[in-house]
């Protein structure tokens, strides 16, 4: 590698050895995820901001949506942290359903919430391994208002369906007021400039109705044979 000042800084044997051993850590995270989530039945991954406070509008909406989904037999998968993740795990817990938390070690914000089933709490160091678990074992996605992490998960799920890397499953954006600006930009900029096709807009849906979220998920599962996404 050449430094900006022109000096070279070749990678050492120690650097290369660390990368090789890192592979085993990555393999271990995949193995634990597959073993713990493999027996999981129909599940919905719920995403949203870790900064959403208990008692706030979208926190309570998430609790209710997750409770209703759990009552219909869906496991709830979240990132395991506070905010929307906590609300979703809380709803599943209150319904006596399976509450999954895929926690990740971060310097700020992230600590696992108390509503996760002990057997379904998994700790990750690597975002990309964790993201595989969110997608592989979910038969649908609910996107509550959130920040960059929520956008990352949303667009990854949309892209995987668009490129046919996973089978189509429901992607529901909850909260029309929150998502309106982004959807307007997608239609008026991305679509009009030919960066996406009109049919790509059908990959996801938007609603403010808790019952509709559950209805979409339930109807989809009735028509589909259950299996992991890949």
Q: Is the model more confident about 194 or about 2?
A: 194
Q: How many Cβ atoms sit within 10 Å of the Cβ of residue 57?
A: 11
Cα separations (Å) of 67 from 33, 61, 78, 141, 222? 24, 10, 14, 15, 19
Beta strands in 79-202 (DSSP E): 99-104, 121-124, 141-143, 171-174
Phi, psi dihedral angles at 134 (to 5 degrees): -55, -40
Q: Confidence band (pLDDT; 50, 70, 90) for 168? A: very high
Q: Identify the CATH assignment for 13-223 out of 3.90.1560.10, 3.40.228.10, 3.40.50.2300, 3.40.50.450.
A: 3.40.50.450
pLDDT for 155 beyond 50: yes
pTM: 0.90
Note the pLDDT tens digit of each residue in 39-98.
999 999 999 999 999 999 999 999 999 999 999 999 999 999 999 999 999 999 999 999
Boundaries of every domain in the chain = 13-223
Q: Which single residue is written with the structure tokens 């595989």?
A: 132
């Amino acid at each position: 590698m050449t430094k900006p000042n022109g000096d070279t800084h070749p990678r050492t044997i120690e650097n290369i050895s660390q990368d090789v051993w890192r592979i085993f850590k990555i393999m271990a995270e995949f193995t634990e995820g597959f073993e713990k989530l493999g027996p999981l039945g129909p599940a919905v991954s719920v995403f949203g901001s870790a900064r959403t406070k208990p008692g706030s509008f979208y926190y309570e909406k998430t609790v209710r949506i997750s409770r209703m989904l759990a009552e219909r037999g869906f496991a709830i998968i979240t990132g395991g942290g506070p905010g929307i993740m906590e609300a979703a795990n809380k709803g599943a817990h209150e319904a006596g359903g399976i509450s999954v938390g895929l926690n990740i070690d971060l310097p700020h914000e992230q600590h696992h919430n108390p509503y996760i089933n002990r057997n379904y709490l998994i700790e990750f160091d690597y975002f990309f391994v964790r993201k595989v678990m969110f997608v592989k074992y979910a038969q649908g996605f609910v996107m509550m208002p959130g920040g960059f992490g929520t956008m990352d998960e949303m667009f990854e799920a949309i892209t995987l369906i668009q490129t046919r890397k996973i089978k189509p499953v429901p992607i529901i954006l909850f909260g029309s007021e929150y998502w309106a600006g982004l959807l307007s930009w997608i239609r008026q900029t991305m679509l009009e400039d030919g960066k996406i096709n009109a049919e790509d807009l059908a990959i996801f849906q938007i609603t403010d109705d808790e019952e509709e979220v559950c209805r979409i998920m339930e109807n989809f599962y009735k028509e589909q044979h259950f299996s992991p996404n890949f």
